[in-house]
Structure 1
Amino acid sequence: MKVAFYTLGCKVNQYETQAIAEAFEKLGYEIVDFDKPADIYVINTCTVTNISDRKSRQAIKRAKRISPDSIVVVMGCYPQVYPQEVQKIEGVDIVVGTRNREKILEYVTEYLKQKKKIIDVNNEYKRDVFEELKVSSFNERTRAFIKIEEGCEQFCSYCIIPYARGSVVSRSLSSILEEVERLASNGYKEFVITGINISAYGKDLDYKVTLLDVVEEISKLEKVKRIRLSSLEPIVMKEDFIKRLVKIDKLCHHLHLSLQSGSDKILKLMNRHYTTEEYRQIVKMVRGYWDDVAFTTDIIVGFPGESDEDFESTVKFVEEIGFSRIHVFRFSPKKGTRAYDMPNQVSSAEKEKRSEILKGVAKQLSFNFHKRFEGKILEVLIEENSSFKGYIEGYSGNYIRTLVPKMESIRLNEIYKVKVRQVFDEYVIGDIII
């Protein structure tokens, strides 16, 4: 039988889809592209925004359009938060939330026999055990994702994820290291540490272990060449944490440090637990150790109550910090969050305007960051053939997309020294130093 997968959202979802795909493959299922006829379609959903929900519904309709008699499995955050809504969608046969993903194969077998809709959504916030989903490879990827924890207890006023993923549960250090060793033996060199809130790793464990312990232990493995952190909360970036972090030689000089707004008033409304001054000091401290560090971040524009002055504060702050990359999001009111019905909602037109302004600023900041490395040498993991004809590409340790001329002697999944000769806002071009 043929099975196809469609994944929306974050790196955690990508990790989970890969684990489930491997489980199907081990039982003899043939994995095909999502736009091909299949017997089973598994859609791993995201519900961060209303657009994510719409994309999930579109994927369900597409699957049924391609193969009307197929079994459609909808899993993940969307059915976890809105189970009744998903159950009512025509063509959905199996619904699984953000728990018991390892039972999907069992549910498919059951459905083939009974032909009755299966629903498995547990709405309890508290979780006790990390759900192990083991991975041995990542299709068409040279970077391996390592999921180390599940859940978030931040409850930012705009975010539905704590309700989708539940409380923090951490994976055991031994399990993490076993998976990294397995993937490293399969040829992976760079490992991306991911989770719903990796900054909270270890808080639920009986023995004292933190995110830093995880990174330090992974760095001791000989076959591991690079470690990258997916996203960090500013509240964890205390002086002692930073001093220990910067000593890890294999850690990429790239920190995705969530900001969301450059206005202290808006940060408070968002229930973010830091100020712009605290954020500023974190950046200053890290740059004192790593002068080539790339800071990337997320910004929400048009949050309820965001005035023109608040938005201008955000623009000035991101320019001051000098981010190498900014993901700009327009505020999307999610039912079930505190921000959903907050007063002083910003109009769609104004959100669009602010988004375009900030994207323009982000583009210039990216160019400015890349310009610093013109004529300098970057260490680049070559990952794939580029969409630019005659080039292959990859990322430097500080997350600069780097294109190099294609040559027979250059192999994918190898780290090369590249001298940068041309700079753009989205990428740089360089030559490999043989």
Structure 2
Amino acid sequence: MTKKRVAIYTLGCKVNQYESSSLAWLFQERGYQVVDFSSEADVYIINTCTVTHMGDRKSRQLIRRAVRANPQAYIAVTGCYAQVSPGDVTKIPGVDLVIGTRDRASLVDLVDQAVRESSPVNVVSDYTGEDQFEELSVQSVQDRVRAFLKIQDGCNNFCTYCIVPYARGPLRSRQPDKVIEAARHLVAAGYKEIVLTGIRTGTYGRGLEEDITLAGLIQRLLELPGLARLRLSSIEPRDITPELVQVMSGANNFCRHLHVPLQSGSDEILRRMGRKYTVGEYLELVDSLRENMPGLGLTTDVMVGFPGESKECFQQTYNVIKKVGFSGLHIFRYSARRGTPAAGYDRQVAPQLKEKRSRKLIRLGRELAAQFAACHLGKVLKVLVERPVPRGAGALLEGHTDNYINVMFPGQRTLVGQIVPVQGDSLQEATIEGRIIGHRDEGFNSGYVE
């Protein structure tokens, strides 16, 4: 009997990536063959994003692309766009199931049921204060390099521009024993790096009976035998506590890289955004982190064109970014989200001005990333090998340091998944090019084989 084929496309954040991997595993367990989204499939799953209008548009485009690829296929739409705009999704010709961001563990049953009944199904429901963390595990192993591990869901920040609290619901945390069990499985399967993900990861522990914080969870994870690297995907400035800094700085296997959203370098704009911190407080946090974590790679999110962002406000943001010297920037143009307070604010910024400011910050971000990488030239770097990259006559390997510098060097693809010592020789934009050194220094991961 031929297996049914399922293809999954993921838009948006690392939480979505984790959840798509979990859904793929659920379908495999039920006898489906997971194929690439570009292949013909019997079932297409589109895991959507709604952070910006662009996310909505891409979600709709992918749904229509799946319908064109196989008009007879079953189309299921999940994720944040489906959660906040189920009515819009069900109007798209060809959609068979809309499920949102809740109860995804039942997705295979819903697909099978809907296929049998040959009728559209919309099971999106609103979040309540009683929602618990939904267990969606990832059991399958593919590249054995870097694994995402979801530990938290939901947000209660309610920043004035953000739709995420409506799409993801209240704060929920995964039981610590479940997190440890999942991490232990990933290490045993050969993963060298685990990335902790969540919607507001720094609130981990909220809602659990056990008295535990993110710092406490990280401390337990760092003690797992064989875990070479532990990384945080993103954390809000207000959620970085002295206890957390102490835990992160005191372990050799915690990655010296943090993604801490700034959003704006103007106190006026931060207030209008509802961000609940000042530029001065953010800068004090940066100083503390760098003092405790030498060599820290610090990346951030910045939004341009928020309502009321004057020329002076934007210049303040530019100056703060330059002062901090981030190692990477994610630049977003403000996109009004229906139902959020900022959508009704006055002094909306023209699209052309948003684009101009975005380009200016992108250029600055590239300069800062190159400067940060350049500081590591001439040093021996620990690089987690992620993939082979064909180039010219020979093959190169590509990977990242623990503080998230991209590194390329000649080597055999058998080194993928290992942590190797690489001498940084030259710089190509923000990528270091180098060579594997001919000896094993003390402290390098034992997975490296000369």
What range is the shorter-chain TM-score in?
over 0.9
Residue from 373, 378, 385 that aligns with 1:382: 385
Residue 160 of structure 1 aligns with which residue? 163
Please report how far the alpha carbon of residue 388 of structure 1 lies from its aligned counterpart in structure 2 after TM superposition.
4.0
Find out whether 1:353 has 2:336 as its counterpart: no
> Residue 421 of structure 2 aligns to a residue in which SS?
strand
Picking from 405, 411, 429, the partner of 1:406 is 411
Structure 1 equivalent of residue 257 of structure 2: 254
Q: Residues 330 and 355 of structure 1 are in contact (CA less than 8 Å); yes or no, is this contact kept in structure 2?
A: yes
Q: Deviations over 1:31-77 (max 9, x none)?
A: 11111111100111111111111111111111110100000000011
Deviations 1:213-262 (A, max 9, x none): 11111111111100000001111223343233311321100010110001
Determine if the alignment matches structure 1 residue 20 to structure 2 residue 4: no
Please say which of residues 65-74 and 279-288 is displaced more in the overlay: 279-288
Task: Tell me the amino acid that sits aligned with residue 395 of structure 1.
Answer: H
* 1:392 maps to 2:410: no
Partner SS, residue 273 of structure 1: coil
Q: How many residues align?
A: 433
Q: What SS does the aligned partner of 1:362 have?
A: helix
Counterparts in 2 of 1:98-109, with a 5 A limit? 98-109=101-112
Which residue of 223, 227, 241 corresponds with 2:226? 223
Q: TM-score, normalised by structure 1?
A: 0.97
Q: Output aligned runs, 1:258-337, within 5 Å.
A: 258-337=261-340
Local SS of the residue matching 1:352: helix
Larger deviation, residues 235-244 vs 318-327: 235-244
Counterparts of 1:172-183 in structure 2 under 5 Å? 172-183=175-186
Distance 2:360 2:179 in 1: 41
Contact 2:63 2:95 in 1 (8 A): yes
Structure 2 residue aligned with 1:425, among 429, 432, 435? 429
CA contact (8 A) 1:403 1:427 kept: yes
Q: Which runs of 4+ in 1 moved over 4 A?
A: none
The superposition leaves residues 347-387 of structure 1 with CA deviations (integer Å, 9 ceiling, x where unpaired) of 00100000011111111101110111110121100000125
1:63-212 equivalences in 2 (<5 Å): 63-140=66-143, 142-212=145-215
Q: Distance in 1 between matches of 2:108 and 2:82?
A: 18
State the one-letter code of the partner of 2:430.
Answer: E
Q: Secondary structure at the match of 1:384?
A: strand
CA drift at 1:108:
1.2
Counterpart amino acid of residue 425 in structure 2: R
Change (3 A) 1:185 1:141: closer
Cα displacement string for residues 93-152 of structure 1 (whole angstroms, at most 9, x for unaligned residues) = 011011110111101111122111111111134243110011123544620000001100
1:425: how far off?
2.9
TM-score (norm 2): 0.94
407, 420, 438: which one aligns with 1:416: 420
Cα offsets for 1:383-410 (capped at 9, x unmatched): 00125442110000000010011336x5
Amino acid of the residue matched to residue 261 of structure 2? S
- Equivalent residue letter for 1:412: V
Query: Residue 187 of structure 1: CA displacement?
Result: 0.5
SS of residue paired to 1:386: strand
- For residues 27 and 131 of structure 2, the distance between their equivalents in structure 1, rounded to whole angstroms, comes to 26
Alignment partners' CA distance in 2, 1:141 and 1:74 = 28
The 2-side partners of 1:179 and 1:81 are apart by: 30
Q: Give the counterpart letter for 1:415 in structure 2.
A: I
Q: CA RMSD in A?
A: 1.3
Q: Which runs of 5+ in 1 are unaligned?
A: none
Q: Which residue of 1 aligns with 2:443?
A: none
